Structure 1
Amino acid sequence: MADIDLDAFASRYIAVWNEPDPGARRKAVEELWCEDALQLLQPPQVMREAAEKVGMRTVVMEARGHDALEFRVRTAYEEFVAPGAADFRVRGDVQRLHDLVRFSWVWAPLDGGEPQGGGLQVLLLGPDGRIATDYQFIGL
């Protein structure tokens, strides 16, 4: 298992979601995630409630591979960061247990106001230290 600086790793992960340059963003995706990596997203509560109303008890969104991950990161950037009022940030400690890394993050105003969103990342690392599976739980 690759030895990594946890704080630097989490900072690199969050930085890709704030990256305005498409080329740099794509390069970061390729450096952070394995080629066939999978991101599983637990949707926000409002989406889970809407799905439950129509009988769907398990709602999971997924993106697999560099192209899908880059698309996911780009659309999040365009919606949440590009308008220029807020960005994503690591919140609290980064922890590792063997090949799992976990940390919390927030989406917060640049002016220092209260976070408007956030979540928890649980990352399963491959032997080369890149992300093999990325579990994202939305909600503070």
Structure 2
Amino acid sequence: MDTTATIDRYLAAWNATDPAARRDAIAAAFTPDARYVDPLADVAGHDGVDALIAGAQQQFAGLEFTRGELLDAHHDVVRFTWHLGPAGAEPVVVGFDVAEIADDGRLARVHGFLDKVPS
């Protein structure tokens, strides 16, 4: 399993601003019954993830998600860091996620943590 590709698909979904492209990216990155939980959200399914991502894009317009320094996996579990900020600049938000990968390479569960948030 190519864990880097799985996480890149996940981040592509968070970066897809066109609604149709975002729905396609979500379908590529998440299982239909996926659950996403972080300190600010608890959503399930493609519709829930789509609404969450659309809200984050509205709140952080013009910023992009990128992979952080850590990406580590074993069995069907991956942990990784991510950054949200202007392209090529210091991130505004830094997070740490732990996810369960389904047999088809898509994410079934994501547990997010926020390490750095704007004040």
TM-score by length of 2: 0.88
Relative to its length, the structure with more strand (as a share) is: 2
Paired residues, number: 116
Is residue 73 of structure 1 aligned with residue 50 of structure 2?
no
How far did 1:38 drift?
Answer: 0.7
CA distance in 2, matches of 1:63, 1:72: 8
- By relative contact order (CA 8 Å, sep 6+), the higher-ranking structure is 1
1:36-115 matches, within 5 Å, as 36-43=33-40, 61-80=41-60, 82=61, 84=62, 86-110=63-87, 112-115=88-91
**Are the aligned partners of 1:19 and 1:77 in contact in 2 as well (CA < 8 Å)?**
no
TM-score by length of 1: 0.76
Secondary structure, counterpart of 1:12 in structure 2 = helix
Secondary structure, counterpart of 1:129 in structure 2 = coil
How far did 1:121 drift?
Answer: 1.2
State the Cα deviation string for residues 62-118 of structure 1 (Å, max 9, x = none): 1011111111111111221x3x2x2111111311110001110111222x3322111
Q: Which has the larger radius of gyration?
A: 1
Identity of aligned residues (%): 34
CA distance in 2, matches of 1:11, 1:37: 17
Runs of 4+ in 1 over 6 A off after TM superposition: none
- Note the aligned Cα RMSD (angstroms): 1.4
Structure 2 segments unaligned to the other structure (5+ residues): none
Structure 1 segments unaligned to the other structure (5+ residues): 44-60
Residue 113 of structure 2 is matched in structure 1 by 137
